[in-house]
Each structure stands twice: as structure tokens, then as C-alpha cells.
Amino acid sequence: MAFSSHKKRQSREPTNTNNGVLENWFAGDEEAMTTFIHEMSRKQINIPKVLEFSWLKRKNLEEPRVMLKHQRLKHFLEMTGNVYPHMVKVFYTNLTPEARNLVSYVKGVKLSITNDV
């Protein structure tokens, strides 16, 4: 039996195994889906860490606790809940500036980041 000395080249193109999910997420926008597959699909989304202000108090870390509270970060840093990394990637793939806001579309829903947010 003869074996070939040539190794099979592996494709660097990501495989499209979305089973129709991307069509829903991008509302059928082929260009955005292509961008997502080729640019964003390999990027990692870090799962956020949560800080409990009561822990800072228990550890006598009054200065950082007061500083974060003064910066109005208490609510943001204590947020918990589900994280959907693929949806975050879709959001950033579609993100564009519009006037003085940032706008993105996910599953056909317009999301705006305004100055107030």
C-alpha cells in the first residue's frame, strides 16, 4: 500500500456551521454575516467579573469602595446575569456611528448607545 508524502492542507477559512442562526441574528444581511464569520468569529468575549461592594466593606477597603461609588460604578460592577458571547460579537460587527450615537442591530432590533447611556 502506497502512502502519499503530501500532507493535506487545512483551510484557514472558518467553517459555516450556523444552521440558519446567523440569518436571524443579522436579519438576512449577507455582508454583515460574512464580516462576522471572517473577522469576529475567532475573537474571544471575556465573561465579566462581578464586584460586591459588601466584600470591600468587609475587607476594610473603604477608599476604593467610596471612589467607585462616587464614580457611579456601583450598579455597573454589581450587575449579574446571563452573557451571550455570540450576540455581543453580532452587536460589535454591526456597530456604526450615527450622529452622536453608536447604533447596532441584533436580530432586527436597533440598539443605540447615547450620551446618556
Tell me, yes or no, if the pTM score tops 0.75: no
Residues pairing with 113 in the sheet: 102
Spans of all domains in the chain: 26-113
- CA-CA distance, 23 to 31, in Å (whole number)? 11
Task: Pull the grid cell for residue 63.
Answer: 477608599
Least confident of 20-24, 33-37, 56-60, 79-83: 20-24
- Sign of torsion, CA 79 80 85 86? negative
Sequence-distant (6+) residues with CB within 8 A of 92 are 40, 104
- How do residues 43-97 score in pLDDT, each as one tens digit? 777 777 788 888 888 888 888 888 888 888 877 788 888 878 878 888 888 888 9
- Asked if residues 94 and 32 have their Cβ atoms less than 8 Å apart, the reply is yes
